[in-house]
Amino acid sequence: MDGTDDQARQGSPLNPKGLSPDEAARVLSTVGGKLVDVGKIRTELDSNELLLEDFPEVCFPIQALDGIANRCSGQLYQGPRTHIGWTAREIVLPTIPESKASGAIIKVAGITGRIRGMKSKTPDGRSLRPSLVVLDDPQTDESARSLSQCATRESILAGAVLGLSGPGKKISGIMPCTVIRPGDKGCLSLFGSKPDQHRLFAEHITAEYRVKTQGRGRTVDEWKLRPSAVDNHWLDCLVGSAVAASIQGAVLFGTDVKPVARRTRVRLSDMRRDKR
């Protein structure tokens, strides 16, 4: 979030789904072994005038602290405490009656770090688990070039990250990412504002996972159906279309692969005639 007009008007990291007071967890990538902190989010909440205009119930109590963290514990709103919290890995938004972001929690964690079991307690003693996860560029230049690291990150996303809400509970996920190379986690995007229109297709093309196997002197990728998957027909159609396009000489932009020259068809009768 950089404070531009469009980003501020379209939404904010406060509570994009209007969750109240469920927890919103933001899982960020670990670069060089260092965890990304919440400093940028905190700066926007504390100084972005557009966010203050759109979300005064969130931003005004934060800006009233004047950047002094020690004031958090003593801030009151119509008597009760607002329970604002700042740490290097967590932001607790002010508890304000009628606010959709009241008491929402924003946490950060490295995707290759300790993610499982993330939960927090509210002032009234309730235990909350994440209900929204934002995956902010979950890969690096190095991991995008490695098939094994791509597979590892995919398994983390499908397992630990999407399981943050707890057994049998649903969680929403958003992944703003950049395509670094074909085959990485951001190489296929579905556009539009109505996810239900793409749900069936998305479920089909993610119905299988890749396992690298060796045998008879060669290494191949074996695709297996996920236990939770039902159908994979659209995946088969997509793969078949990709193979047909490859046969016709199509290649992906940005790759080093060169189109294979098309061979001239030869009739059997011509081959027999040439042997005479």
Sheet holding 85-86, edge to edge: 85-86, 90-92, 105-110, 23-28, 130-136, 172-174
CB 53 within 8 A of CB 146: no
Kindly tell me the sign of the dihedral angle through the C-alpha atoms of 26, 29, 34, 36: negative
pLDDT digits (tens, 9 = 90+) for 155-171: 788 788 888 888 878 88
Nearest-5° Cα angle at 21, 20 to 24: 95
Q: Locate 44 and state its tokens.
A: 């926007």
Banded pLDDT at 152 (limits 50, 70, 90): confident
Q: What share of the chain is helix, strand, coil (3-state, %, to 5)?
A: 30, 20, 50
Alpha carbons 16 and 3: distance in angstroms, whole number: 16
Q: What is the pLDDT at residue 110?
A: 79
Q: Which residues contact 30 (CB under 8 A, 6 or more apart)?
A: 36, 110, 111, 112, 113
**pLDDT 10s digits, 34-55:** 455 678 888 889 999 999 999 9
Q: Are 109 and 35 in contact (CB under 8 A)?
A: yes
pLDDT at 10 over 60: no
Average pLDDT on 80-108 reads 87
Strand locations in the chain, DSSP E?
A: 23-28, 85-86, 90-92, 105-110, 120-121, 127-128, 130-136, 172-174, 208-215, 218-225
Integer Cα distance of 239 and 73 in angstroms: 57
Q: 213 is written with which tokens? A: 């196997």
Give me the percent of the chain exceeding a pLDDT of 70: 78
In the chain, domain spans = 1-186
How does residue 130 score in pLDDT terms, banded at 50, 70 and 90? confident
What are the structure tokens assigned to 129, written together? 């688990």
Q: For residues 115 and 171, what is the distance between their CA atoms, to the nearest angstrom?
A: 15
| Among 187, 106, 131, residue whose Cα is nearest residue 154 | 187
Burial class for 194, CB neighbours closer than 10 Å (0-12, 13-18, 19+): exposed
Confidence of residue 18 (pLDDT cuts 50, 70, 90): very low
Please say whether the beta carbons of 116 and 160 come within 8 A: yes
